[in-house]
Amino acid sequence: MKLMRVWWGLGIVLVLFVIVVCVVPNSEIPGAFELNDKLSHLVSHGALAIYFAGLVPRQRWWKIFVFLLLLGAAIEVAQYAMQLGREGDPRDVIANCMGAAIGLLLARLGLARWPELANWLLFRGRATQ
């Protein structure tokens, strides 16, 4: 699949986006991103889990969970240390873990096949070169 590099590049951009949204001061976050804090953590980590589950073989999905756990913990430590109007909250790490677990469960139920759908939509049945 030639698009794999594109998907990985987009994944890196998504992770960077999540980091930026989580560490910028609250006053600078656009209103579109102001959801319930725990729900935001749950949804963002769930979406990242589904996204990367489409790129990684199932036997390595545990690495996605560990990565998202460490990412969430690092974000909370950064929020605590930066003192820019954000608070590090251990409950956010729990919400991140729950989101990642739910995302991987949904991936197991079929959402990890998103790259196949994307390829089909992009190429409409034409053979990928």
pLDDT at residue number 14: 95
Q: pLDDT digits over 72-92, tens only?
A: 999 999 888 887 777 788 899
Name the residue among 26, 47, 46 with its Cα closest to residue 35. 26
Spatial distance between the Cα atoms of 21 and 82, rounded to a whole number of angstroms: 14
Segments in the chain below pLDDT 70 = 1-2, 26-35, 125-129
CA distances from 20 to 9, 17, 42 (A): 17, 5, 17
pLDDT at residue number 31: 56
Alpha helix (H) residue ranges in 24-82:
37-53, 61-82
Please, how many CA atoms are within 13 Å of residue 36, restricted to the half-sphere of its CB?
A: 6
Angle in degrees, CA 14, 116, 45, rounded to 5: 30
pLDDT at residue number 129: 46
Q: What is the pTM of this model?
A: 0.85
pLDDT at residue number 1: 52
